[in-house]
């Protein structure tokens, strides 16, 4: 019964809008009354998150770095980084990125082989407040160009691509 009543209210709202503005195309008519729209967007779609999700990933990383600075944060082959080393390095790079204008709602493309350097850049970009677009050097160059064209990043950072990947 409630569904039928809701559908009837929607239908009445649409009919009233058509009568009030007969020259307006149907696709331009708001199908929901303001109160119905508010109910759908704000009551049924409540996006409040538990406290856990109110912390950003960079904030979680910093908390872990302060909690266990000497612990190994990342390792690749025989190279490893402690949380303290990773924190200092990524902070320095994030500040450089910010100085270049990288920040909130910005994209940075990262072209590098998988490894610690790529991880450092990914974290630094996040700490700078931006998002990254990873590009795989093993993919054809045409693929990179397509991704770069579609994503339109503000900056492209290339790693050391001259060395032979082991």
pLDDT tens digits, one per residue of 78-109 = 999 999 999 999 999 999 999 999 999 899 99
| Mean local confidence (pLDDT), 137-143 | 92
Instruction: Say if residues 111 and 157 touch (Cβ distance below 8 Å).
Output: yes
pLDDT tens digits, one per residue of 39-73 = 877 777 776 666 666 778 888 899 999 999 999 99
Q: Given this model, what pLDDT does residue 52 score?
A: 61
| Cβ neighbours for 115, distance < 8 A, ≥ 6 positions apart | 76, 79
């Amino acid at each position: 019964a409630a569904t039928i009543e809701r559908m009837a209210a929607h239908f009445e709202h649409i009919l009233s809008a058509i009568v009030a503005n007969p020259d307006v195309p149907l696709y331009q008519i708001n199908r929901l009354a303001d109160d119905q729209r508010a109910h759908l967007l704000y009551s049924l779609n409540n996006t409040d998150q538990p406290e856990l999700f109110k912390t950003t990933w960079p904030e979680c990383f910093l908390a872990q770095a302060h909690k266990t600075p000497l612990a190994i944060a990342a390792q690749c082959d025989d190279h490893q980084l402690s949380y303290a080393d990773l924190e200092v390095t990524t902070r320095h790079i994030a500040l450089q990125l910010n100085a270049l204008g990288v920040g909130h709602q910005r994209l940075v493309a990262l072209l590098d082989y998988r490894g610690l350097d790529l991880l450092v850049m990914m974290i630094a970009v996040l700490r700078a407040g931006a998002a990254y677009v990873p590009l795989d050097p093993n993919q054809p160059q045409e693929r990179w160009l397509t991704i770069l064209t579609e994503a339109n990043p503000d900056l492209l950072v290339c790693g050391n691509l001259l060395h032979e990947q082991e």
